[in-house]
Every structure is written in structure tokens, then in C-alpha cells.
Structure 1
Amino acid sequence: METVPSDLVEDKITSDSNSSVEDQEKAQEVQPVGEGQVENEKSEKSESVTALLQVVGAFFLMFNSWGIANTFGAYQIFYEANLLKTQTPSQISWIGSIQAFLLLAVGGFITGPIFDAGYLRGLVLFGSAAAVFGMMMTSICKEYWQVILAQGVVTGIGVGCMMLPSVAVMPQYFKTRRAFATGVAASGSSLGGIIYPTIFHELEPKIGFGWTTRVIAFIMLATLMVPIAVMKAKVFPAQRRPLFDFKVLHKVQFDLFCVGTFFGFMGMYIPFYYVSSFGISHHVVDANLGFYLLTILNAASIFGRIIPNFFADKTGALNIMTPWLFFCGIIGYSWISATSAAQIILVCIFYGFFSGTLVSIIAPAVIVISPDLSLVGTHMGMNFGFTSLGLLIGNPVAGVLLEKHGYLGPAMWCGTCNVLAGIFILASRLSKTGPVLMVKA
């Protein structure tokens, strides 16, 4: 039997022990990598869930901001016939116009620096409280000036505080599907414009104006608990953005875009305020179906907020806005020619679809035309502030034209505003890209 020298045995033991130590060290080195991968996967899943929760939260902010603005057509009909019947349609429309004006003005100019300072939750909390309080106070109003203050000013400030968080968070979580995510969130405004008017129409004859408005306020309070719980900004700017950027005013593409959205919002809500009363007064539909024309408008706008935004990620926001505004203009000119229930319903479906895009696509479009992406928040606020003036005066002007020229006046005003908007948006697009048709913009 052959023996192995003791020195070789010692070398073998030493070698084995060294190998085992090296293997252990390698094993220890491999283990953290695996854990890191798992942690990264968990982090990515967590971020994706958080991103989806932002869409849900923004959906309910839109549901209770633009959704409440879309509901005013129902109040317009009620006020004209009951609570404020001594006021003219133009005077009554100022209530909704002030509310919509503050929605964009507060959401554009005032809340931007507050959001940048890290107070997203503060904006959502204050906006929710103010909007609910304003509707509660509306429920006990008896006079015109009281409704102006409660429903126009207080509720307007509240929904204005909610508006910016609903659009400012989306770009932080979505890159390739930014417009689509914004469109899904913006569809909440259309759903609010369906549910709230329906509730008002069904409950007001049964429980009265006061309790019906309180029911709406309670629903607002319940649904606003969702964004209060889940809304969370991913990052905040290292430096606070300026409230106003004078340099961007030297960019023709931005100026033309602002003028375009000004005219677009000036004309957009006219059918939402007056198509129901037109259908009823001209005996195109009965009183019950006439009310639901507003619901049909808002239902169609759900698809108008989602479907075009899906394609906007591929074709560009400006390329979607331009033809859609021209379509709104054509429908605006022709809606008073409807002489049957089927015709007026089709008008509402098409106008709701094409007009719905304007609300949801304006933020992605500002990103496209902004010359400095580090100041896109400032540029968005400037655009919203200027556009809000169109919301403020559009419907009262339509009311004056209604008194002087019948429904022909609001129809011509609506169509002209939308056509002008399309022309200026097209000019903005050409200023940015030149006369090249097949280019994303």
C-alpha cells in the first residue's frame, strides 16, 4: 500500500481550506446581487403601483373639479326656472363662468409655486375642504349674490387648488404613455359631469334643491378621500420655478398656442350650458330628455379624453388638437339646425367627443411647445391663466347673444371661437415644425 507523505497531506488540507474559504467568499458575493435584484424588482413593482394610484387619485380630483364645472349646465336650467328666475340667462351663466375661471386661474398661477414648495397634499386637502364647503353653502343660498360667492367663488377656489395636482403628477410617473395616462385621469371630469347632473335631476323634485346639493357635497367628500390618501409627488424641483417667464413670450409658437386655447375655452362650454334649454324651448325633445342632453355630452367626452390622447403619444398633441377644434367649430355652427331628438342626440355625441379632448390634451401640448422643459410648469401656469379668461367671458357673451338673436347667436359664437382656436393652434404647430405634415408635434 502506497503512503502519502505528511507534507503533501498538510498541503492538501491547506489547499482545501483555502478553496472552501474562497468558495464561501464567492457565495457571499453572489448572494447580495440576488437580493439586490429582488429588491429592484420589488421597487419597480412598488413604483408601478404608486404610478397607477396617482392616475386613480387624479381621476377623482378631475371628477370633483372639472366634473363640478361640467355640472353647472344642470344648475343653469334650474336657476332660470326657479331660484334665480328674475335673473337673465347671461347673469346666471356668470356663476358657472366664475367657477370655471377660478378653476384654471387658481390652478395655473397661484398653486404652481405652492406645489413646487412640496405642498401637494396641502393643496389637495385645502381644495377638497373649500370645494365641499362651497357646495354646502350653495345648498342654503336664497339670493343671486349668495350663489355667486358660494358656488362661483368658494367652490371655484377649491376646485382650482385640486386641478394642478391632477395634471402635474402625471409627467413624474409616465414618460411614453404620458398623454394616455392624463387622458384616463381626465375622464373623471366627464364621469362627474354624468353622475352629478343626473343626481341633481332625479333628486331635486323629490327632496328639494338644498338637500340635493348637500347630497352632491357628501359624494364629493367621500370620493375626495381617495386622492387625499394616495396622491404623492415623486420629486419636487430643486429650485422654485418663477411665477412668470417673460422670455417665453418672445416665442411665437407659445403665443399662438395661448391665443388658440383662449378661443377654444371661450367657445367650448356654450353647448354644455345652452343645448338643453334649446332642445326644450324648440320642442325638439321633452323636458326630461332635454335635461339628459347634458349627460350625453359628458358621456361622449369620456371617449374624447381617452382615445385621442392614446394616439397623441404617437402622433403628437398638436396634431390631434388642430382637426378636433375644427370639428367642434363645424358642429357649433350647425347644432341649432337639429329638428328631431335623434339629430340633437347625435350633435351632443359628436360635440362631446371632440370637445372632450381639449381639457385632457392641453397639458401634454404645453410640454410640446415649451422651449425650456425646466420651466414647463411656469409655462403651463401662464397658459392656464390666460386661457381662464376665455372661460370667464365665453358663456356670458353667449347669454347676451341669446337674448338679442335667439339661439343662433350662441351657435355662431361657439363655432367661430372653435374655428379661431383651430387656426391659431395650427399656426403654433407650423411655427414649431414648419410646413411639414408627417412629423410628430
Structure 2
Amino acid sequence: MAHISQPQLPNTDSGSSNYDTLTPHSALTSMSASTDDLQSAGAQAIKAVDPAANEKSKSVAASAVPDGGVQAWFQVVGSWVIMLETWGLVSTFGVYQTYYETTMLPNESSSAISWIGSVQGSLLFFVGVLAGPLFDAGWFREILLAGLLLVVLGQFMTSLCTLYWQVMLAQGVCIGIGMGLIFLPSMAIMPQYFHRRRALAIGIASSGSPIGGIIFPILFSHLHLSIGFGWATRAIAFILLGLAVLPLVVMKTRTTPHGKAGLVVFDKGTWTDAPFLLFIVGSILVFLVLYVPFFYIELFSVDHNVWSLDQSQYLVTLLNVGSFFGRIIPGALADKVGTINTLLACTLCSAILAFGWLGMYNIGSLIVFTILYGAFSGGVVGLVPAGVVGLSPDLSKVGARMGTTFTLAGVSLLIGPPVAGYIVGGATGAEWLGMIGYVAGCLILATFFYGLTRRLMV
């Protein structure tokens, strides 16, 4: 059998050094001609003659991943900023929801207003069906720049809004599309730099989300009282603008793209991969309800006279405090006991806590609930991307698989909070009971499907 060598491939970013490719079949380049067709044929021939050689090529490719180093951790820093500018803003919508309902858009229903946040969050996922394949094809720098510009532009335009449709277009659509362009690639780049510590790296990067969810609600709640809605929203926009420079400077891919033609939007292997399909179903159920408490915990507190309106704003902050620890600790644990195992545990704990929400009618219990739910739900959000990577045998198709997963999950995020708002309706005790049951029930079902995923992986 011919000797398997590690070829040196040019990096896609000018001025950077050459790196080894990550895709397993590329380790066979020295055995074949320079064309892609001959390379693929050689890989298939070796796999047919000696299956062990195929596994060896995978281990060689994995060993080529640096799994640390300055450049690798720069990607974590850049992704951390992107998570702050995407999920950090999504996590902030609870304070906007309350402000719109009580001050700016009092004639709009709770369900109608929640559609703004749902559109924003769902577009973060929907656009992934395009952003993932574009990332795989080597357009990372272009989509990164476009996405960051749209997020900042949308935030500035939101500061000028006074009508419902204006807020929907600026905060829902413009920011949502920008988020979708940058979120998925910021996660898909991690396998190029991390293998053994991949879940930890993704967890640290995703901790930017709760930091944004801590800072932005406090900033908005304090500033809109003194300088008004417009300048409070613009202050956040200026922060987003300044931070956007960092990922543009430090983030770069280390593998040669497949070519900027012939985008593969869907990985055909997805539809015959039973564990991955079950994982997608579980993720659809998770994102149907996981962010409902982030949207409605503040309103729940006010309706039940647990805290005043001014004090209740801190509940969203406490959710994100818990989420910060939930991004990092489960990520470190997942590298030791398995990503799906840890995701399964976090989803189950989130479901149990959701059932416990039924009895949280005093400030002490509600604070405990918000911190714990934030922690375990944060673990779920941080581990889903790592789960996609772990269930993807071909790392060159991670972007496409993430795009498929998050696009389908985006449908859930689009309809989930408005359905919760419709159930709450007049915010009576019975209606809150129904909404909480809806959240807990979906999380229990998600736990079941993640459990089936784990079973089929054995």
C-alpha cells in the first residue's frame, strides 16, 4: 500500500502560512493524480481494499488539527464576539418585549410583539441554510463582513422606529439576517482548530451570548429612562460596531475551500443518517420553547406581583448569568463524557425546571429558577453545534449539516414564542399554567429524542 503523507495546502487568506487539510480523503493526495476525481477514486479504492486505512486517514486528519495555540484561541475570541452580537441580542429581547407592551406599542398584543423577537431569532437559523454552504465553499470573510454590517445597521435603524412594522423590519428582519450570516460560520470554524477540546472551545465561544444578555438589558433599562429609547438603542449599536472589528481582524479559515462554485446546500447523507435525524427532531422541539422564559419571565413577574416592573428587568439578566456558566461547564464536561450525553442531561434538567416554574410565586424561588434555568438552557444552546459536529463523519460538510439543522430549528424559534404568547393571552393564572405546560412538555419530548440519538450511537 502506498505511503500516506500529509500534503501542504495553501491557506485561503492572504499572508497566512500553509496548513494541512482537515478532510480525511485529502490524506491520500500523494497516491493519486492532482485532479479531484482521481483523488476521490483513490480514497474509495483504499477504503474498499483496507477499511482500516480509512480510519487511519481520519485519525491522521484529526491529529493535524492544532487543538490550541494562539491562532486557534483567536478564533474562540472572534466567535465569542459574534455570539455576543447574535444570541446576546436575542437574549435581550425580553426587555424590549416589556417596553413595547407597556410604553411604545401598547395597542399591540403580546403575541404580535413576540413575533419581532421570533423573526429575529428564526432568521438567525434560517439564513444558515445559505451561510453554511457558503462557508464550506470559502466565502467566510465575505459573509462575516456582510453579517456584521447588517447587525449594526439594524440596531441603528431600530433606534429610529416608532411603529410596529418599522420595528419588525429593523429589529426583526435586518438584524436577523445579519445574525444568520455570522452565527453558523462562527461555530463551523471550530473543528478546523480544535478536536479533543472542541466542545470546550465552542462552550467558551458561546459564553459571549449570556454576557451580551447581561450587559444589554441593564444598559437599555437604565438608559431609556434618562436619554430615551432612541439613544439607549443607539448606545448598544455603537458597542456592536466597535466590537465587530475584532472578528474581522482575527478570524480566518485554515483549510482550502472546495471552490466558490457548485455550492452544496444539503448533505444528502443527512437523510439516511438515523441518529442525526433524531438529533434534528430533538433540536426542533428544544428551540420551539427554550427561549420562551427569556421572552416572558419579566412579564410573569409583573403579572403575579412578584417584583415591580423596574425590578423585574433584572430577571432577564439573571437568566443570562446562569447561561454564562452553562455554556462553559457543560462544554468542558462534554469533552470527557460525550457531547450527546451532556446535552441529554441539560435538556432533561431544563424540562424539570420548566415544570417547577409553575410554583415560582415569590422572589426567592423565582431568582433560583432563573439562574438554574439559564444555566441548563445555556448548556443546551452551547452543545447543539458541538453535537452537529460530533455526528458529522465528514468535516468538510459541517457547514451544510449545521445549515440544515438550524434552518429546521429556526421554524420552531419562529412560531414557539408567539404560540406561548397566544396561550398566555390575557395573562390569567390558568393561561400561564397552560403556557408553562407547553414549555415543559416540549422539553420532555426533546429529551426523549436526544435519548434515542444516544441509543443508536452505541
Is TM > 0.5 for Structure 1 vs Structure 2? yes
Deviations 1:57-77, CA, capped at 9 Å, x for gaps: 110010101111111111001
Please state if 1:48 is matched with 2:69.
yes
Q: Distance in 2 between matches of 1:115 and 1:191?
A: 26
Unaligned runs of 5+ in 1: 1-39, 434-441
Instruction: Give 1:381 shift.
Output: 1.3
Distance in 1 between residues matched to 2:437 and 2:444, nearest whole Å: 11
Shift of 1:82: 1.0
Deviation at 1:371, TM superposition (A): 4.7
Matching residue of 1:3: none
Correspondence for 2:440 among 408, 415, 427: 415
**Shift, 1:409, TM fit:** 2.1
* Letter of the structure 2 residue corresponding to residue 360 of structure 1: G
Q: How many residues in Structure 1 have an aligned counterpart in Structure 2? A: 390
Return the TM-score normalized by structure 2: 0.82
| Contact 2:146-2:181 within 8 A present in 1 as well | yes
Which of 108, 111, 127 is the aligned partner of 2:131?
111
Give the aligned partner of residue 89 of structure 1: 110
Offset of residue 157 of structure 1:
0.5
Report the alpha carbon displacement of residue 377 of structure 1 after superposing the two structures with TM: 2.5
Q: Deviations over 1:223-263 (max 9, x none)?
A: 11111111111113335662112332122211111110000
Corresponding residue of 1:120: 140
Amino acid at match of 1:274: Y
In 1, the alpha carbon distance for the partners of 2:336 and 2:263 equals 29
Q: Which string of whole-angstrom CA distances, capped at 9 and with x for unpartnered residues, describes residues 390-427 of structure 1? A: 11111000000001642112211111111111111111
Give the deviation of 1:370 after TM superposition.
2.8
Identify the structure with the greater helix proportion: 1
Partners of 1:244 and 1:51 lie apart in 2 by 28
| CA–CA distance in structure 1, aligned partners of residues 272 and 69 of structure 2 | 39
Residue identity matched to 2:210: S
Q: Which runs of 5+ in 2 are unaligned?
A: 1-18, 20-64
1:104-161 Cα distance to aligned partner (Å, 9 max, x none) = 111x201122222322221121111101111111111111111111100001001111
Letter in 2 for 1:56: V
What does the per-residue CA deviation read over 1:9-60, in whole Å, with 9 as the maximum and x for residues that have no partner?
xxxxxxxxxxxxxxxxxxxxxxxxxxxxxxx9xxx99x81111111111100
For residue 204 of structure 1, give the secondary structure of its aligned residue in structure 2. Answer: helix
Task: Tell whether the 8 Å contact from 1:241 to 1:377 is kept in structure 2 after alignment.
Answer: no
| Native 8 Å contact 1:69 1:100 kept in 2 | yes
2:264 alignment partner, SS class: coil
Pairing partner for 1:193 from 213, 231, 234? 213
Matching residue of 1:71: 92
Equivalent residue letter for 1:70: S
Alpha carbons 2:282, 2:446 under 8 Å: kept: yes
2:323 is equivalent to residue 298 of structure 1: no
For 1:369 and 1:424, the matched residues in 2 are separated by 15
Q: 2:134 touches 2:263 (CA, 8 Å); kept in 1?
A: no
**Which amino acid in the other structure matches residue 320 of structure 2?**
N
Contact 1:248 1:371 in 2 (8 A): no
SS of structure 1 residue aligned to 2:227: helix
**Greater Cα offset, 362-371 or 68-77:** 362-371
In the alignment, structure 1 residue 427 sits paired with structure 2 residue 452: yes
Letter in 2 for 1:237: P
- In structure 1, the residue corresponding to 2:207 is in which secondary structure? helix
Equivalent in the alignment of 2:204: 184
- The two structures have a TM-score, normalised by structure 1, of 0.85
Partner of residue 237 from structure 1, selected from 257, 270, 273? 257
Mean Cα deviation higher: 217-226 or 248-257: 248-257
Query: What is the alpha-carbon distance in structure 2 between the residues aligned to residue 393 and residue 361 of structure 1?
Result: 22
The counterpart of 1:224, out of the listed 227, 232, 244, is: 244
- In 2, the alpha carbon distance for the partners of 1:372 and 1:119 equals 19
8 A contact 1:116–1:236 mirrored in 2:
no
User: Which region of structure 1 is more displaced relative to structure 2, 56-65 or 278-287?
Assistant: 278-287
Conserved 8 A contact 1:109-1:382 = yes
State the SS of the aligned residue for 1:72. Answer: helix
Aligned to 2:222: 202
Which residue in the other structure is 1:276 paired with? 298
Measured on the aligned residues, the alpha-carbon RMSD in Å equals: 1.8
1:141 aligns to what? 161
Distance in structure 2 (CA, Å) of the matches to 1:79 and 1:409: 24
Q: Does the 8 A contact of 1:102 with 1:157 survive in 2?
A: yes
CA contact (8 A) 1:132 1:220 kept: yes
Cα distance in 1 for residues equivalent to 2:394 and 2:248:
31
Q: Give yes or no for contact 2:137–2:258 (8 Å, CA) kept in 1.
A: no
Letter in 2 for 1:177: R
Distance in 2 of aligned mates of 1:204 and 1:429: 47
What displacement does 1:299 show? 0.8
One-letter code aligned to 1:304: G
Distance, in Å, in 1 between the alignment partners of 2:396 and 2:188 is 13
State the structure with more CA Rg.
1
Indicate the residue corresponding to 2:101 in structure 1: 80
